[in-house]
Structure 1
Amino acid sequence: MKTSQVSFDVNLFNLQYHPEKVTPKDWTVNSEEQPRPFKTYRGLPSVRLDHRVPDALGPFVRSEPGLFERLSALLWHSYGLTTMNWLTKASKPEEADAKSLTFFRRNVASGGALYPAEIYLCLKGFQGLSAGVYHYDPKGHRLVLLREGDMTQYVQEALGIEFEEVGSSVYLLLTVRFCKNFFKYLNFSYRLHGLDTGVLAGQLLTLLKALGMQATVHYNFVDQALRHLLNIDSHEETVYAVISANAGQRLKSRENKKETADTLADRLPPVDTPVCEENRRGDYSMIVNLNNQAECETVESFKRYKDTQNLRSAIDGQATVRLTERKKPVDLLQASLDRISPGERFKLSELRFDTLSNILTHHGLDGIKNDVIVNRNVTETIHVFFYAHHVEGLAQGYYYVDRECSSVRLMKKGDLSPLFQQGLTRKNFNLHQVPLVIHLTSAFCEFVSSVGTRGYRILQMEAGMLTQQKQLFAAGFHLGAHPMLSYDAGFLERALGLDDLEQTILMQIALGEYKPLLRLANTLF
């Protein structure tokens, strides 16, 4: 695919196909420019969440926890600090010091373990919590109060909807802070912002559903109105998605109110929320410009998308194999704790066919809607393909997953490991040692051309949600799953026939058994 064929900002195309074009050739990572890993507010009241976090879902749900306990478990298992890690890299005997890396681990993956996303909550009706707007502080597992009072009506108006709510409700506002990963990835961090936020959203949605709280994802909202609510600067941080959860009460939509950023902000006074900041800012001009292009200034500027592509009929598979229908139960909390990205530590072993079936068909997001993609659940505009290198009962080859028929179709037969290895832009993986490689794809150019720059962020978030699902359920079967972006998308799409289907690879995931990682971990719960 050529840049002349796209009708949107060429930077979005380059982020997907030519990431080297958005990063200066002479640039190197300067770890001294890394900002603090946490956003910390000064002098604001806070509420400690329940530190008795459960490690298994079944017993916790059967104990009939209250809303406060469920919220505590949700936030900790989604974004809390679970372990302190010391990762040792191989060094030569003559070297005096072994190379090591120290970092906090959370239950969701993040590029470089930098976690650029932040969680804010607008809630009411939770015992032990005043109605208001809060920021989740993961290092203290606490909520910091930014605004006191019931702001749920304000959020609804910024979303262009109105709910008739009963009792308790919570809105999770997911933002991205540019400084968190810009020092390492520069402008490529824009792609990671959507993916990381999507992974986090996928974890939150999966656990909300498991904890009995109905949820909906909102990609449409009046941006400046929500930034005003949170008192964040668009040159440093912006809102990517909102998750509404009504704690089991049925949502009833009412007539929309047509609001603008100015009319909403005028009704809400500014608030002082001092943050412990460092005077380290990069040149975020490209990121800010893309976010400005994606901005919704009024409810009328919201976009909808109807997916009319029938990929199933376009794929002429050589053979169709039914997936195993029997699903093995997976404890989501334990799987969250066990999730691992093995890096180069994969080892070749045969993947059982029923395990493959479970990983492909298990979906903790079934029935959850978003407000952009018409008549589809979240992630259903993302398609799944995979290369079976060493899977029980499956011929080696590249397959399409037909979710409607719960089957897989062989598209290209043979040992494709050399092709996948050649497709890596960084040779830090040996894909000959991986039994399964998953591709998450979409009609990227059509979607972004239709929805605009905001559509780019949405696709990355949807791909991030599905990435989280594959990692989570792989962990449920004691397997590692490593998301990777160091692949030549154009080369692989042409070689595998995806180009003819107008599909773009959004994510590549290596999956299989792994050797022990060279690291020490100290549990923080």
Structure 2
Amino acid sequence: MNPDVFLYRLQYEPHNVKPADWEPDWEDAPLPYKLYRGAPAFPLDRQMPAALNAGIRSAKPDLATIGRLLYFTYGIAQLTESPVASVFAGDAPATMVQLRRYVPSGGGLYPCELYVYLKLDGLPDGVYHYDAAHHRLILLREGNFDDYAGRALGGRIRMDSCFGAVFISPVYWKNFFKYHNFAYRLHGLDAGFLTGQLLEVSKRLGLSALVCFQFLDLAVNRLLGLDAGEESVYAVVPLSAAPIVVRNGEESEYVTAPELCRELPEIRHEQYIRSRRVVASPVLAALNAASRIDSAAAFRQPVREANAGPHDAAPAIPLPHATRLGYDLAEVSRKRYSPETEFTLQRVEASALAAILRETAASYPYRNDLDGTEWRFEPRVFLYGCFYGVEGIPDGAYRYDSAIHALRCVRPGDHRMRLQSGMSLHNLNLLQVPLCFHVAGERNGLRMRLGLRGYRVQQMEAGMLGQRLLLAATAAGMAGRPLLGYDAKRIDALYGMEAAGATGLVQIPVGPCLPRARLTGSLIP
């Protein structure tokens, strides 16, 4: 397999990465969560606050804080039952029952799992799996692993100053069974939407968080007891009650993953995902192996090229002044959902569009290990959009310039039919959607500076920005649905992205919508 060819097809020819005769076996589908059997379980506090607003920094987080962090990030929030239309006359009415979480996921499959390393009073120090089905922690490995985890992160973070860390890990089969090799793109985006929600919840709880994209994969997977052929960590997020300090990590420059792995015994726990037949995904495993980092000396800090990212040649259209929305994250997370046929075309005030864009851009900057020890945040993904029927904004395709809070017109006109004809699955009527956003990034996917690792970093950052957009749209009284079923070449041509060295990563229609015809039950733990 040539990775360059595969990633090109993944972006521009997705039909060529999945066999034409591949059909998911829904009778043998995996659960949307993983269960561990026989390991010690520790229930989490089931008393959830009604609201999550700006947090007051806590000097010493407790287990109740962790329960809220995990629940509002990735807890099972609702059980829904929706009618399903049949294409055959005379068929009996059918319904679809789904478990819903606070983040979107392709097909509602939720391929990611959360693991946490914790050092809290009333809980044994160690590594845990978050059992979302029962809102509890499952102890996988007991002990203090500050030194081990710190060296796995390249010696850049003092783990003894953090009370823990979150590990975000896609399980290959949970997406592969439906999407085959296209799952590789979904895994990065799913992990990104989840990371974006984790960071927003952390803010509301007064916690400091830092996203580490670079770490010694084999060592981290060894700590959690993961089989890299089935599942692999995409991000490590240290947590602290105080600001997290990033160091250069020269003293760990020569630490290697095999050396660290020899320090820990291998662990294996019985797991249950329901599927009786699990098909191997060698391409996904090979890509993750090729993007693996085995030595801290291989960590890189990408420096943006002078010509990378969008250019500002297009005239700027100033947007109305907009302040931060200041929404209640718990309420907005409960309201957020992904419409299909419920979009309804209405005029949108320019002030509403301005508020969504301002909130998305202002909430996005985050601490990470790619922006250096001084944390000079450099966004690597950007917002474009096709807008129709917005008061005071001519119909057209635009790029949002967050530096001056303005739109730059790339191509005037109504582009809804162009967008609709580029859909591979016409499950949405884009003629009913006034705002259609596109998250874009550098065309080479950071490959030149981070190697294969750069591709999944870019997909994750697209998801992180997309989650902020969905939350802002919901807070403004609208709804959005992330989509990958579109013609990427058509989108790039629409915005002239190729000349700017960019490409569209995810499409997110946003607009007013009618209530969905479904039964919904809240699942507060």
Could you say whether these structures have the same fold, taking a TM-score greater than 0.5 normalized by the shorter chain as the test?
yes
Report what 1:3 is aligned to.
Answer: none
Cα distance, 1:270 vs structure 2: 2.1
Cα distance, 1:91 vs structure 2: 4.3
Cα deviation digits, residues 318-376 of structure 1 (max 9, x gap): 44223423233211121111111111210001122222112111146455222235577
1:174-185 aligned at under 5 Å gives the runs: 174-185=168-179
Moved more, 209-218 or 162-171: 162-171
Secondary structure at 2:399 match in 1 = strand
Report what 1:299 is aligned to.
Answer: 296
CA–CA separation in structure 1 for the residues paired with 2:378 and 2:310:
20
Contact 1:187–1:284 (CA<8 Å) still a contact in 2? yes
Query: Which of 178, 182, 186 is 1:188 aligned to?
Result: 182
C-alpha distance 112-349 of structure 1, shift in aligned 2 (>3 A) = same
Cα deviation digits, residues 147-189 of structure 1 (max 9, x gap): 1111122111101025446665111011111111111101001
1:517 and 2:497 correspond: no
1:52 and 2:69 correspond: no
Moved more, 464-473 or 445-454: 445-454
Moved more, 145-154 or 506-515: 145-154
1:97 and 2:96 correspond: no
CA–CA separation in structure 1 for the residues paired with 2:397 and 2:375:
26
Contact 1:338–1:475 (CA<8 Å) still a contact in 2? yes
CA–CA separation in structure 2 for the residues paired with 1:290 and 1:166:
33
Contact 2:492–2:498 (CA<8 Å) still a contact in 1? yes
Query: Which of 323, 344, 353 is 1:326 aligned to?
Result: 323
Report what 1:429 is aligned to.
Answer: 428
Contact 2:150–2:158 (CA<8 Å) still a contact in 1? no
Unaligned runs of 5+ in 2: none
CA–CA separation in structure 2 for the residues paired with 1:279 and 1:377:
48
Unaligned runs of 5+ in 1: 1-6
Moved more, 204-213 or 132-141: 204-213
CA–CA separation in structure 1 for the residues paired with 2:213 and 2:414:
40
Cα distance, 1:196 vs structure 2: 0.2
Contact 2:57–2:205 (CA<8 Å) still a contact in 1? no
Query: Which of 270, 274, 291 is 1:274 aligned to?
Result: 270
CA–CA separation in structure 2 for the residues paired with 1:154 and 1:64:
25
1:398 and 2:386 correspond: no
Contact 2:166–2:236 (CA<8 Å) still a contact in 1? yes
Secondary structure at 1:238 match in 2 = coil
C-alpha distance 355-271 of structure 1, shift in aligned 2 (>3 A) = same
1:159 and 2:153 correspond: yes
1:91-170 aligned at under 5 Å gives the runs: 91=86, 94-124=89-119, 126-164=120-158, 169-170=163-164
Matched residue type, 2:412: K
Report what 1:493 is aligned to.
Answer: 492
Cα deviation digits, residues 463-521 of structure 1 (max 9, x gap): 01011101111111221111111110112211331222121100110001111212111
Contact 1:400–1:411 (CA<8 Å) still a contact in 2? yes
Secondary structure at 2:270 match in 1 = coil
Secondary structure at 1:420 match in 2 = helix
Matched residue type, 1:522: G
C-alpha distance 319-518 of structure 1, shift in aligned 2 (>3 A) = same
CA–CA separation in structure 2 for the residues paired with 1:87 and 1:456:
36
1:140-289 aligned at under 5 Å gives the runs: 140-164=134-158, 169-251=163-245, 253=247, 255-257=250-252, 258-276=254-272, 278-289=275-286
CA–CA separation in structure 2 for the residues paired with 1:371 and 1:200:
18
Cα distance, 1:440 vs structure 2: 0.5
CA–CA separation in structure 2 for the residues paired with 1:378 and 1:209:
17
CA–CA separation in structure 2 for the residues paired with 1:252 and 1:483:
33
Contact 1:386–1:436 (CA<8 Å) still a contact in 2? yes
Secondary structure at 2:482 match in 1 = strand
Cα distance, 1:37 vs structure 2: 2.6
Report what 1:369 is aligned to.
Answer: 367
Cα distance, 1:127 vs structure 2: 2.4
Report what 2:438 is aligned to.
Answer: 439
CA–CA separation in structure 1 for the residues paired with 2:19 and 2:440:
28
C-alpha distance 379-78 of structure 1, shift in aligned 2 (>3 A) = farther
Report what 2:287 is aligned to.
Answer: 290
Matched residue type, 2:518: R
CA–CA separation in structure 2 for the residues paired with 1:137 and 1:518:
30
CA–CA separation in structure 1 for the residues paired with 2:500 and 2:54:
46
CA–CA separation in structure 2 for the residues paired with 1:227 and 1:252:
22
Cα distance, 1:274 vs structure 2: 1.9
Cα distance, 1:245 vs structure 2: 1.2
C-alpha distance 168-347 of structure 1, shift in aligned 2 (>3 A) = same
Cα distance, 1:298 vs structure 2: 0.9
CA–CA separation in structure 1 for the residues paired with 2:217 and 2:309:
36
Cα deviation digits, residues 416-471 of structure 1 (max 9, x gap): 11111122122221111101000110113162233211111100000010111011
Cα deviation digits, residues 383-410 of structure 1 (max 9, x gap): 1111111212111001111111121111
CA–CA separation in structure 2 for the residues paired with 1:64 and 1:171:
17
C-alpha distance 312-486 of structure 1, shift in aligned 2 (>3 A) = closer
For normalisation by structure 2, the TM-score amounts to 0.93
CA–CA separation in structure 1 for the residues paired with 2:175 and 2:244:
39
CA–CA separation in structure 2 for the residues paired with 1:65 and 1:155:
21
Contact 1:365–1:378 (CA<8 Å) still a contact in 2? no
Matched residue type, 2:454: G
Contact 1:123–1:168 (CA<8 Å) still a contact in 2? no
Secondary structure at 1:227 match in 2 = helix
For normalisation by structure 1, the TM-score amounts to 0.93
Matched residue type, 2:408: R
Contact 1:153–1:162 (CA<8 Å) still a contact in 2? no
Matched residue type, 1:268: L
Cα distance, 1:250 vs structure 2: 4.5
Contact 2:75–2:135 (CA<8 Å) still a contact in 1? yes
Identity of aligned residues (%): 34
Secondary structure at 1:362 match in 2 = helix
C-alpha distance 459-78 of structure 1, shift in aligned 2 (>3 A) = same
CA–CA separation in structure 2 for the residues paired with 1:89 and 1:361:
37
C-alpha distance 311-11 of structure 1, shift in aligned 2 (>3 A) = closer
Contact 1:35–1:280 (CA<8 Å) still a contact in 2? no
Contact 1:379–1:462 (CA<8 Å) still a contact in 2? no
